[in-house]
A and B are shown apart, each in its own frame.
Chain A
Amino acid sequence: MSDYIKLDSEKISEGVKTITELGGHGILKCVQCGACSAVCPGVKAGFPVLCRLLIKKVLDGQLEEMIEESSSWGCQACNRCTEVCPQGVRPQEVVFAFRRYQANELAFSTSAITSQMNLHSYGHAVFSDARELRKKVGLAPEAPTSAYNEKAQKEIQTLLENSPMGELGLY
């Protein structure tokens, strides 16, 4: 990316159209107030191009230039952005639309591939073995999730492999 951008109206409308069609319907409602990024745990964790900045870059016509951006995979879908947005943008949906765009173009960041593989293996995009910790605080070591259930994992794998994600040849 160069140090300056040219505003290209075709690129802008193409970017908006792509994100809108992939589910980020509210993108044009954004007034760039920044409330979403103020509460976004992803932004704080070092994934700056989420919510407000991601939308701004699309609205500047920089969708293609961002294709390798790994910030989008930092979104935990907590939807705090959706809750505080005063304009009904639903920034989380924009982030997910952007992810779909990246996935369609096979432009995963390495962190994304790890989470996809986690999802395939355990049914959780972010997974760490919490059995020791749970025991320490007096909980049953294994939470009732797909992480410890081979049958569920098989089902998830079948679903994923038969989904558009499967066609990408990731698994």
Chain B
Amino acid sequence: MAKVGVYVCHCGTNIAGVIDVEAVRAFAEALPEVVVARKDLFMCSDSGQELVKQDIREGLVDRVVVAACTPRTHEPIFRAAVESAGLNKYLFEMANIRDQDSWVHPDNPEQATEKAMKLLASAVGKASRLKPLEDKYVDVTQAALVIGGGVAGISSALELANMGYTTYLVEKEPSIGGIMAQLDKTFPTNDCSACILTPLMVDVGNHPNIKLMTYSEVEEVEGFIGNFTVKVRHKQSYIDWKKCTGCGDCAEVCVEQTKGRIPDEFNQGLSPRGAAYIHFPQAVPKKAVVDAANCISCKGHKFGQEPKISKKTGKPMIAPCQEACPADAIDRSQQFDPNGTIEEIKVGSIVVATGYQVMDKKWFKELAPDSPNVVTALQLERIISATGPSGGKLVRPSDQQKPKTITFVSCVGSRDENFHTYCSRVCCMYMIKQARLLKEKYPDLNINMHFIDVRAAGKEYDEYYTGARKMGINILKGKVGGLEVLPEDRLRVLAYDMEGAVPIEYESDLVVLATAIELPETAKKLAQATGLQFCGSHFYRELHPKLGPVETSVRGLFLAGCCQGPKDIPDTVSQAKGAAAVAAVPLAQGKVKIDPIISEVHAEKCSGCGICIPLCPYDAITFRMVADRPRAEIDMTACKGCGVCTTACPSAAIILHGYEEDQIYAQIAALTA
């Protein structure tokens, strides 16, 4: 008979504050399988673990049950302790008496104690029937994938590539750079965004270990840590990038033909682009694409067709973009294909760095969204950027005149129950930055900034903010309630001065809205493809907010940058480099462990009915011929141990190791006793 040792944890007051730990311990001691029952203030501490190890070493116990917090964080810790004392680590079972008991029943200590006893008895019942299991290992594909080519993805990719690993960098736009490439200068040092980012972009483009895949999207991710198979869709650009020199001649003629109808995303719609266009002048790779959805097929030259022959001249009528291209790179004879081509790549780990979008102003009807002189902060970045549509000159969109009074409105869609309850974290600082840059350039400009409060927590951030006050920028505490449109596209600001407890009303020429940072809709598609989960704020959920900030619940998948939550550039780059370091671990180890808690088919019992095959959510089951008859076989690298096949098998030929029938029945018996 098994000799079960039981160890009940106080977890400080987390458990002991509700549950009578001594009563639970005494209850365990009386169970027939239990040879010893102890308790400790913190079972996971060195002294707590030592209790377990000593009992194993002395031969007192050969099965271990710890009643404590949660297996989610602490099962690996106790398994390691059991193993170090010389016992198979799968002869360990955990009773969850904190997350599933003391934390949910704080007002009912007596029944919580009773529940703890049942949970413990159930764990003991299972533990006494556990069998030793062995870890298995498989080789790792020595390559990484980074999804997203903003500053987060760029930083992660460069780190991984510098470590010597082949790194695929997939970006949906024609160029890497992301939102940082759209910014003018960056707080708190005011260095120019392009000057610090573009050299990194060039490094990415030239790095021998980086395989850059722009204008591409991840369609499907299969496999597991160490061995992922990823389908990447290259969008059809109708331009042969091997020939394209990035001269931009096609873009120039196209913007004339399309007559400014297509808003330039890079300039946040403040200027037009052609259907043939280059993402921005500093693009990497600097290649043109033809955006087929917006192409107007000049001279009737449609995709997938040869040009028409002119009745007048007898010559082919070639589209102007094709005519303009000196490198003969534009190929309109390719069929219109919204799907593009799929490339399959194999990688060992994946960093997701897909970034964010800023909310559109259209949602805020009280803030005059239809006025051209109400702009988002990202639009202002383009207005004041040297590469922007006005060459860095501050002009208001309605008449291209320099404004005299400019208003900044904070928390637009952030800290707001109607939109996002979270703080977008960077708006206070970037608005102060924009105000400071403007005040430096135009000392006469009247700048009013309205905050609920100023959040400037960061290295040298508060000094940057107080510096803005010293420059004569008006900082007002109180949220703007509304904007009213006046003649000549001026705006009346309805604000409030919290400190003076008086309403404020004045006229402004340009109003800047700090709209919230959020995940774009496309984030859902990637979550479906990868198994990533969302947190309450609808960003990708990290494994643990403190101790697993770059890991996710999908092993081998890591997070970097704003797709995990709003953050500024220093934090983004820190997280991106951290994600690269953790993503490199399986690659450096060369092999990954396969958890033995997975299902296995006993071929001699299998009738070959095939019921299990379509049920498996991981496509892990196939037929294998055993003595000329088909039998189900489970690929241990694909199996996640969900147990669907085990419960469905009519012949009981499939067992889920670590959850065998007698073990589960023993648990049920204990819980219903």
Minimal beta-carbon separation of B451 from chain A (angstroms): 9
A84 and B417 CA atoms in complex are apart in Å by: 11
Contact between B415 and A38 (Cβ–Cβ < 8 Å)? no
CB distance from A85 to the nearest CB of B (A): 8
CA distance A84 to B494 in the complex (A): 12
- Closest approach, in angstroms, between the C-beta of B215 and any C-beta of chain A? 39
23 CB < 8 A contacts A-B = A31-B452, A33-B415, A33-B478, A34-B452, A34-B479, A35-B480, A37-B478, A38-B478, A38-B481, A38-B495, A38-B496, A39-B482, A39-B494, A40-B481, A44-B503, A52-B498, A52-B501, A80-B481, A84-B482, A86-B415, A86-B418, A87-B416, A87-B417
Q: Mark A50-94, 1 if CB is under 8 A from B, else 0.
A: 001100000000000000000000000000100110111000000
- Closest B residue by C-beta to A85: B417
Chain A contact surface mostly: helix
* B502 on the A face (CB < 8 A): yes
Q: Mark B480-507, 1 if CB is under 8 A from A, else 0.
A: 1110000000000011111001111100
Q: Quick one: given A31-B452, A34-B496, A34-B498, are A39 and B415 in contact (CB under 8 Å)?
A: no
Q: How far is the CB of B431 from chain A (nearest CB, A)?
A: 16
Given B478, B480, B503, which contacts A40 in the complex, CB threshold below 8 Å? Answer: B503
Select A35's contact among B479, B502, B504, beta carbons within 8 Å: B479
Nearest opposing residue in chain A for B476, CB measure: A34
Of B366, B481, B498, B503, which contacts A32 at CB under 8 A?
B498
Q: Which residue of chain B has the shortest Cβ distance to A56 in the bound complex?
A: B501
User: Which residues of chain A are within 8 angstroms of B411 by Cβ–Cβ distance?
Assistant: 33, 86
Residue from A38, A80, A87 having most chain B Cβ neighbours under 10 A: A38
A83 to chain B: which residues have CB within 8 Å?
A: 366
| A86 touching B501, Cβ below 8 Å | no
Query: Which A-chain residue is minimally distant from B498 (CB atoms)?
Result: A34
* Contact A35/B496 with A86-B415, A86-B418, A87-B417 known, Cβ cut-off 8 Å: yes
How far is A39 from B495 in the complex, measured between Cα atoms in Å?
7
* A74 CB, nearest partner CB in chain B, Å: 13
Residue of A nearest to B367 (CB): A84
Closest Cβ of chain A to B415, distance in Å, is: 6
Please determine whether A38 and B417 come into contact, CB atoms closer than 8 angstroms. Answer: no
Interface size on A, residues (CB 8 A): 21
Tell whether A119 is near chain B: CB-to-CB under 8 Å: no
Tell me whether A48 and B495 are in contact (CB under 8 A).
no
Q: Flag whether A19 is at the interface (Cβ < 8 A).
A: no
A88/B366 contact (C-beta < 8 A), A34-B479, A38-B479 known? no
A27 within 8 A of B: no
With A52-B496, A83-B366 already in contact, the answer to whether A36 and B481 are too (CB < 8 A) is yes
Q: How many A-B residue pairs have CB under 8 A?
A: 67
* Residues of chain A lying within 8 A (CB to CB) of residue B479: 33-35, 38, 86
- A143 and B153 CA atoms in complex are apart in Å by 67
Among A1-55, those with CB < 8 Å from B are 31-40, 43-44, 48, 52-53
Q: Which residues of B contact A84 (CB under 8 A)?
A: 366, 481-482
A169 CA to B261 CA, complexed, in Å? 70
For A33, list chain B residues within 8 Å (CB).
Answer: 411, 415, 452, 478-479
Contact present for A38 and B366 (CB under 8 Å):
no
Name B410's closest neighbour in chain A (CB-CB): A33
* Given A86-B417, A88-B417, also A38-B452 (CB < 8 A): no
B504 to chain A: which residues have CB within 8 Å?
A: 38
Q: Which B residues touch A88, using CB under 8 A?
A: 417-418
In contact, B481 and A35 (Cβ under 8 angstroms): yes
A48 proximity list for chain B (CB < 8 A): 501-502
Instruction: Indicate with 1 or 0, residue by residue over B354-381, a CB within 8 angstroms of chain A CB atoms.
Output: 0000000000001000000000000000
**Smallest Cβ-Cβ distance to A86: which chain B residue:** B416
**With contacts A48-B501, A86-B411 known, is A34 near B418, CB below 8 A?**
no
- With A35-B479, A39-B366, A84-B366 already in contact, 6 other A-B pairs whose C-beta atoms are closer than 8 Å: A35-B481, A39-B482, A40-B481, A83-B366, A87-B417, A88-B417
How far is it, in angstroms, between the C-alpha of A83 and the C-alpha of B416 when the chains are bound? 12
- A40 to B505 alpha-carbon distance, docked (Å): 12
CA distance A80 to B416 in the complex (A): 16
Segment 399-442 of B: residues with Cβ below 8 Å from A:
411, 415-418
CB distance from A1 to the nearest CB of B (A): 15
Q: Are the C-beta atoms of B482 and A37 separated by less than 8 Å?
A: no
A38 with B501, Cβ < 8 A, contacts A31-B415, A86-B479 known: no
Are B418 and A38 in contact, with the CB atoms below 8 A? no
A32: chain B residues within 8 A (beta carbon): 498
The answer to whether residues A37 and B366 also contact, given A52-B496, A84-B481, A87-B417 and a CB cut-off of 8 A, is no
Name the A residues within 8 Å of B481 (CB-CB).
34-40, 80, 84
Q: Which residues of A contact B495 (CB under 8 A)?
A: 38
Closest approach, in angstroms, between the C-beta of B366 and any C-beta of chain A?
A: 6
Q: Are A38 and B482 in contact (CB under 8 A)?
A: yes
For the complex, give the distance between the alpha carbons of A35 and B495 in Å: 7
Smallest CB separation, A79 vs chain B (Å): 13
Contact across chains for A53 and B503 when beta carbons are under 8 A apart = no
